[in-house]
Structure 1
Amino acid sequence: MGRPKQARAVRTREALLLAAAEVFDEFGYPAASVSKILARAGITQGAMYFHFKSKEDLGRAVLLEQASMLELPATPAGLQQLIDMTLYLAHELQHNVLFSAGVKLAVEQSEAGLGDFSVYQDWMDRFRAELDEGDAHGELLPQVDTAEFARVLVASYTGTQLMSRLESHHRDLPRHIAVLWSYLLPGIATPATLARLIVDPERGRVPA
């Protein structure tokens, strides 16, 4: 009997997390009530409190688990993989509600009372691993500090996606990320690497 109960608990938690993400994404955190989330999930208040004690707990879970439904590379492979990853993320922001809501909460943490920098650190670490791999294979210019550039990239990506969300609900985000790379790459990649890198907004698109 233990396994069915455990599986049901996992499904309940996932339903709550996705419902919260949908409501946060649609209404914004301040206007997202617990009653809206429960109605969206079709779950009782008692079931929710077994997993999450408050709306704040749900918000933190959406923030910290934003990447849990993404298909990210298992191992770093260098600059082309990093570029492809950022374009994949741009496409995911258009339809992956958990990722979209988590990114939105990361930007609007003051409204949610969260103040958690770890999600930004996680992306910086992931991007730096790709840069370090590229550096090990001679892809980067000698003056590039991979930790520093990873921070610049996360900050630039955050600003670009925020502007795109306001302007077009992320419809134009892949194109803007490709433009961002067109300006960033000459400052970090060797000429030989630059000549073979592909920056195409359609790269990273998940087949329908």
Structure 2
Amino acid sequence: MVKQERAARTRESLIRAAAEVFAREGFTAASIAAISRRAGVTSGALHFHFDGKTSLALAVEERAARTLREAAAAQGERVDADGPLRVLVGSTDTLLALLAEDVVVRAAFALSADTGHGSRTDLRRQWRLWAAELLVAAERAGLLAEGVSPQEAARLVVALTVGLDGLAGVEPGRSARQLLTRIWTVILPGIARHEAAAAVLSEVSEDNETD
């Protein structure tokens, strides 16, 4: 049992170390030596748990996908109480927090777009499907503007929200969350009925004032 627990801790340490190196250097430039040093283990110990750099990258992506599923499930529990549009906005805030605070999620998003790595986990697609699910629920509730496709709106939401942690550096003095609020102020009135958009944006403004 002790040996299994030690092995599990080593595996977790390697996944996090790999994520940190991938996030900093990208998949191609990252090396097994750098990852093993970061984890504080030998290259031999690394190879005991993973076949190589590719299997480490896949493990990082799988862990991030699980984190996103858990976050979506937690947000989904609020749909009946808060409504699908409010949960959609809250989900983007959650995603932004994960990108900023969880290096595994941040590295996995970068890996899924890295042409040097054959990703098997499309996190952007996972995020788009979740956004589309909420927008379909909004359509059924009569909250979307006339003629708006939930699937097309979901693609727009993903395009405008993924990578916001990097955009904060483009506009000094503005946090990524401030940029996210600005984005919703622009796009929500275009995809939702006026009264529905106004109600959600009012709540977002109140949340920002209390932060």
Q: Give the TM-score of the pair, scaled to structure 2.
A: 0.79
Q: Which residue of 1 aligns with 2:53?
A: 55
Q: Which residue of 2 aligns with 1:8?
A: 6
Check the 8 A contact 2:111/2:119 in 1, yes or no: no
From 184, 192, 196, the counterpart of 2:195: 192
Residue 113 (str. 1) matches residue 111 (str. 2): no
CA distance in structure 1 between the aligned counterparts of 2:97 and 2:123, rounded to whole angstroms: 19
The alpha-carbon distance between structure 1 residues 202 and 116, as it changes in their structure 2 partners (threshold 3 A), is farther
From 118, 128, 148, the counterpart of 1:144: 148
SS at match of 2:27: coil
Question: Over aligned residues, Cα RMSD in angstroms?
Answer: 2.7
SS at match of 1:144: coil
Check the 8 A contact 1:186/1:194 in 2, yes or no: yes
Check the 8 A contact 1:181/1:199 in 2, yes or no: no
Check the 8 A contact 2:112/2:122 in 1, yes or no: no
From 10, 35, 38, the counterpart of 1:37: 35
Deviation at 1:46, TM superposition (A): 3.0
Structure 1 residue runs of 4 or more that deviate by more than 6 Å after TM superposition: none
CA distance in structure 1 between the aligned counterparts of 2:158 and 2:120, rounded to whole angstroms: 15
Check the 8 A contact 1:87/1:201 in 2, yes or no: no
Q: Which residue of 2 aligns with 1:82?
A: 88
Deviation at 1:92, TM superposition (A): 2.6
Answer 1 or 2: higher relative contact order, Cα 8 Å, separation at least 6.
1
CA distance in structure 1 between the aligned counterparts of 2:58 and 2:17, rounded to whole angstroms: 14
Q: Partner letter of residue 72 of structure 1?
A: A
Structure 2: 5+ residue stretches without partners: none
Residue 100 (str. 1) matches residue 106 (str. 2): yes
Q: Give the TM-score of the pair, scaled to structure 1.
A: 0.80
Number of residue equivalences: 198
Residue 91 (str. 1) matches residue 91 (str. 2): no
- The CA deviation string for residues 108-160 of structure 1, in whole angstroms up to 9 with x for no partner, is x11x3325463222111111122122222222123221122212221222364
CA distance in structure 1 between the aligned counterparts of 2:205 and 2:96, rounded to whole angstroms: 12
CA distance in structure 2 between the aligned counterparts of 1:67 and 1:32, rounded to whole angstroms: 21
The alpha-carbon distance between structure 1 residues 50 and 201, as it changes in their structure 2 partners (threshold 3 A), is farther
Q: Partner letter of residue 32 of structure 2?
A: V
CA distance in structure 2 between the aligned counterparts of 1:22 and 1:46, rounded to whole angstroms: 20
Structure 1: 5+ residue stretches without partners: none
The alpha-carbon distance between structure 1 residues 167 and 105, as it changes in their structure 2 partners (threshold 3 A), is farther
CA distance in structure 2 between the aligned counterparts of 1:162 and 1:64, rounded to whole angstroms: 23
Residue 19 (str. 1) matches residue 17 (str. 2): yes
Deviation at 1:162, TM superposition (A): 4.7
Bigger share in helix: 2
- The CA deviation string for residues 66-105 of structure 1, in whole angstroms up to 9 with x for no partner, is 2444661422620101101111222332221111111222
